Structure 1
Amino acid sequence: MEWKYVIPGIPDNFFERDEEIPMTKEEIRALALSKLRIRKGDMILDIGCGTGSVTVEASLLVGSTGKVYGVDKEEKAINLTRRNAEKFGVLNNIVLIKGEAPEILFTINEKFDRIFIGGGSEKIKEIISASWEIIKKGGRVVIDAILLETVNNAISAMENIGFMNLEITEVIIAKGMKTKVGTAMMTRNPIFIISGEKQ
């Protein structure tokens, strides 16, 4: 499938899905990718790649001169990300690694321009600490979180480690759903998008 547009936000239904594998939804994905401020040729790391929606869109943004690494502890997620990357024709500049963060991050012999941390790992502090070690100076980290505890732990860890220009944005998305009598707005869980830079 070809995505002909230069902005992120591929509709969720364009991706192959598995209900057991998490996915960063299109509106949140578009905001998270904008917070990453991806450039052509960047090296990107997607920690907890899940369905591969962020991995695929980041790959489209970095182009053929960039590279996106997707990491997930679940084999099913790695396989699903691979299928979605193939579907969008970007598998050639994606590297998929099965393993659990933060431990697996130290086995990757690369430095990254941008790191996306999806989901709500209980090891968020350790993942942020590992990210500091593998991100280039001037690099950006963006974290999606649902739980307030994850937000608190992430902000605390980023401040303590030395990330600068921290931002936190709460996003509440409502999508229209047809009913018998009209359209009702169905609200999704609030998502927090946290970003910071290594200067």
Structure 2
Amino acid sequence: MSQVALPHDAKAGPTKPEIRAVSLGKLDVRPSDHVVDVGSCTGAVTIEAAQRAGRVTAVERKPERLAVTRRNLDENEYDAKVSLREAEAPAGLPEDADAMFVGGSRNFEAVLDHAVETGVDRIVMNVSRVEVAGDAIDAFRDRDLLSEVLQVQVSHGYELAGATSFDAENPVYVVVGRGEGGCE
């Protein structure tokens, strides 16, 4: 798997590489999958999904962020067929997705409803705010989707006075769901 290049900024932080690794691992992306990235922003998740899946649909409500997704896609190698849609989810979401990554909290309940209605097998939502994480857990549970919740904390080492210290990233909550067709 090649490193993801993100030379173009969307004025919103991309999902960090370590968090993408956990999230895409929990999505269990397969070569035959159609993966949806809801709230593509920089395209980081779109790119990594496109390196693993057969099809990827990126949905982003802000045209300037969708343009960044497109430019960052152009800087990376992938084999998937990728579609970019400017829409505020759940509008623009395909009817035939196998796996769905939800990177933002806007309208997530309606996005989950769409996932249930269309039979999405695997859903992962990343959240950085505690209150939203609680709401997301409740929403996954209310829809009979909740499989597990992770709190992922990553720290990167740096040199400090000739030794190694660590600088912590903001923790991220990874809410994992399985639809009726999903594997446990």
Do both share a fold (TM > 0.5)? yes
RMSD between aligned alpha carbons?
Answer: 1.9
**1:17 to 1:186, Cα distance in 2 relative to 1, 3 A:** farther
Shift of 1:170: 0.3
Residue from 105, 109, 114 that aligns with 1:120: 105
- The answer to whether the 8 A contact 1:120-1:146 is kept is no
1:51-71 CA distance string (max 9 Å, x none): 111101111111xxx100001
TM-score, with structure 2 as normaliser = 0.89
Which structure 2 residues correspond to residues 24-103 of structure 1 after superposition, within 5 A? 24-62=15-53, 66-90=54-78, 93-103=81-91
Runs of 4+ in 1 over 4 A off after TM superposition: none
Q: Which consecutive residues of structure 2, in runs of 5 or more, have no partner in the other structure?
A: none
Structure 1: distance between partners of 2:131 and 2:110: 14
Q: Look up the equivalent residue of 2:143 and give its one-letter code.
A: I
Q: Does 1:162 find its partner at 2:144?
A: yes
Distance 1:115 1:35 in 2: 11
Q: Report SS of the residue matched to 1:154.
A: helix
SS in 2 for 1:16: coil
Does the alignment pair 1:132 with 2:110? no
Residue in structure 1 matched with residue 131 of structure 2 by the alignment: 149
The answer to whether structure 1 residue 195 and structure 2 residue 176 are counterparts is yes
Gaps of 5+ in 1: 5-9
Shift of residue 179, structure 1, vs aligned partner: 4.1
Q: How many residues align?
A: 180
Q: Supply the AA of the counterpart residue of 1:172.
A: Q
Match of 1:22, SS? Answer: coil
User: Once the 2 structures are TM-superposed, how far is the Cα of residue 102 of structure 1 from its aligned partner?
Assistant: 2.2
Equivalent residues of 1:119, 1:146 under 8 A apart = no
Residues 50 and 80 of structure 2 are in contact (CA less than 8 Å); yes or no, is this contact kept in structure 1? Answer: no
Q: How many angstroms apart in 2 are the aligned matches of 1:179 and 1:96? A: 43
